[in-house]
Amino acid sequence: MRRRLVPAALLLPFALLLTACGGNASAGTGTDGSGSVTLDVGDQKGGSEAILRAAGELKNLDYKIKWSTFTSGPPLLEAVNAKAVDIGGVGNTPPVFAAGAGSEISVVAAWHGTSEGDAVLVPNGSKLTGPGQLKGKSIAVAQGSSAHYQLVASLKAAGLGLNDVKVKYLQPADALAAFTSGKVDAWAVWDPYTSQILQAKQGRVLTTGEGVTNGLSFQVAAPAALENPKKAAAIKDYLTRLRRAQAWVHGHQEEWAKVWAKDTGLPYEVALASVKRTNSTRVPVAVDKPLVASEQQIADAFTELKLIPKKVDFGDFVDTRFNGGLPPSTTDAKADGGR
């Protein structure tokens, strides 16, 4: 028996979130500032621009920001490689695939949080009770996304590999439709999708990324922008503001959820659940050797699976100049903004 289709009211916000441009990126919008330097920033709907604006961190800029909105991390990094974007935010896996493709990118900033929002979801009526039972099952996942590695790691922890399951590579909008219509047995995805499915009672969590993934997210810059002294100075200021804005979220979760809901079209309850589960846990950490080693494990895993064509030395794709006095990436700091 086919499960009922997702209601249009549930699907529409994700259409806005994921396909605002009908492709990879939307037309750029500007942030007023003074000075002759314009920083081209890649973003995702409800991402950096929204959080900076909500926290009041887009005031008194001595440079301008041109925003471009992307559907996900991989196309954003394609734009960084093409020098169309100076810097942008992504999860822990897109930089690995970009590095494997020989892209010109530099990881310049990192945040660490829980991986509870990274989940393998199953429908409410599923008989599956653990990841070890996924053998032979069909699973939707976005190729090259953080969920892709979370699926690999979760299967490995259960004694399985990708060859033991039927992987369906689908972007979130298509995966959402496939999951809610019963065309796949499970969906590996991240917040806010996890929160939306749970809040709508369309499914439940089979397993999360806690204990199997590193919970990192990044800001990635174009080396050419870093070589430009004026743009490098703008990037330093931008990262400082973004860290302050993330710290603001910890003490203003409800306020941020309202802004995020309005910006993305998500229901407020979904936005708040995602903020509490995932967004408010993030703290800035240094781009250091343990971080590189953790990302190297992801790179090696995908190289072994032949999903990356050659071995990647992730250390070649980081720039540590903006670390400042940040705690190490292995910090046990709680979600208090790093204070």
Decide if pLDDT at 17 tops 50: no
Kindly indicate the confidence band of residue 32, based on its pLDDT and cuts at 50, 70 and 90.
low
Kindly indicate the confidence band of residue 179, based on its pLDDT and cuts at 50, 70 and 90.
very high
Which amino acid is located at 134 in the chain? L
Task: Enter the DSSP assignment of 214.
Answer: -
**DSSP helix/strand/coil, 111:** strand
Q: Can you read off the two tokens belonging to residue 291? A: 């971080």
Give residue-wise pLDDT tens across range 231-254: 999 999 999 999 999 999 989 999
The CATH number of 20-114+215-317 is which of 3.40.190.10, 3.40.50.2300, 2.60.40.10, 3.20.20.70? 3.40.190.10
Answer with the residue of higher pLDDT: 324 or 332: 324
Q: State residue 86's pLDDT score.
A: 98
Rounded CA separation 252/229 (Å) = 35
312 CB-near residues (< 8 Å, 6+ apart): 96, 99, 100, 296, 299, 303
pLDDT, average across residues 37-55:
91
Rounded CA separation 75/256 (Å) = 26
Answer with the residue of higher pLDDT: 54 or 71: 54
Decide if pLDDT at 70 tops 60: yes
How would CATH label the architecture of 115-208? 3-Layer(aba) Sandwich (3.40)
pLDDT, average across residues 307-320:
94
Outline which parts of the chain fall under CATH 3.40.190.10. 20-114+215-317, 115-208
Q: State residue 24's pLDDT score.
A: 43
Beta-bridged to residue 256, according to DSSP, are: none
**Mean pLDDT estimate for the chain:** 86
